[in-house]
Structure 1
């Protein structure tokens, strides 16, 4: 609203003109060990995952306390570890949440999701945990897990899955979860209206993804927005549609890390083209909706970007937080409407962002 008023005042006084915007940050908590995701609790404070395997409760005054969480099959190394914590839509009543993480061993691992409940009283613990999804096949190595999640309006859950890096061709195979976005119920069952229930991987909702690091449902537009990493260039912003193919690795704007072409095609018939692509790569990580705009945090790009929809297309409105010179792992807008950002380091920070 404040931004809109500034723009209207500018028009009234000077005619058509541009308005520059800025953002301030406030440190809520520090010394978080490679924080990966954050969720705002209705009773106050935040849950923050640390990639190494800890779930932390952060009070508004910055005090941190470990949350008891038992994940015996957690595999944490390199990009592998504890990923997203996502509260259920009815959390205030049920205390239910879901957590994504890498499960297995160095030579046989993939992305898993558990559901559980957060205790009512502090010190918090996650209780009644059970696995609701395990991505298959198990793979070697510790790269490209995806692991971002979002609830759809019908109460089903989308889980993004990476291509496993060296297994990229499987992103086009419908008998593998690698390089897919899957849709499951709260209990982990496969919805009957999924598009590929006739395959060996019936949970698949869309395919042809590389490493999804942003995923959110926009209930006002009834749309699913997503972004994913390309290799050298070709990071993508997409609108996800049921059953659609997003091209990796048969169509991409990126090239391999060696400089070789991944594919001669940037687009192909039957492949959904990105709504926006970043070349050179900024490594988007985290996606949030704020006042109808999209907020995108970036790792390599060390910035927060804001996109506005104009004439049905997402257009970059501006770059923010570059003065921090910090890799940004996640951006989150909770029920309070506050913008939260996590910095990516062994002494990471939880920041509140205020647009001016």
Structure 2
């Protein structure tokens, strides 16, 4: 209710400035301990134990400034980044556009971040404050890099000791040529280098699971190739999906802005891609569902379609900071309503 009252003021401010003010507020305000999650929501994936399946997607906390605050807001895990080896300013402003009539956002940020060197000491401190919830670190390549695969290798070596899991992000539409790394040959070369950099000879605490984040704008042959390479390289999970460059029927006046579209219009496409990856992999690789999730019903649909975990971001812009608590509370009711003892029993229920 308080957020509903504040939203008109927040929306009167430039979107990127409002986001910066939000991060500053979360750094300054005492939020108290992380809320208790109903035990039926606890789940395990890639050897990690999540108190609940609802995470914050990357893009919100690009520089790893507030993952502890996000956990205190009710998220079971927070994924920070995308972090690149060197700082970069990203694309020219303005580059974030709200689409209120569509409950959506278009962004063309371009991996703007302060760089991994600046994030490392900050995330080292954060790790000690995250008694509950897990920390994911999303890594990417610099726009002007001469060797993007080398950038991901640097990211693995820099961030692995700090992360509960690492995400290799090759799905942003806002770095020219980045999505080409989803092509089979390039993907095989990339993931082979990434997994070698993670190293089976490293201590387990420095050898986190590796997830791969892909775009929703894929053809069936692309999905088959990604699954084939990911399983061959023993990637621990796939994140389905990032923003879309497609433009479904939109109502807002700024719908033609270039960049990646997120929020409600992405929901059906992201759900279908999740089903496609589930079918193609035969359920043999864990999936994380992202895109257009704004309610417990949306999250549960994604879980029943095969996702072990879900992530949100754009919905919080429209629904407010209590969204994770609300989704978790309602998810627990749905699990019990269906006679299940754990939400993990619902994963892939649509297959049965």
Q: TM-score range by the shorter chain?
A: 0.3 to 0.5
Counting strand residues as a fraction of each chain, which structure ranks higher?
1
TM-score by length of 1: 0.32
TM-score, scaled relative to structure 2: 0.33
Q: Which has the higher helix share?
A: 2
**Structure of higher CA gyration radius:** 1
Higher relative contact order (CA 8 A, sep 6+): 2
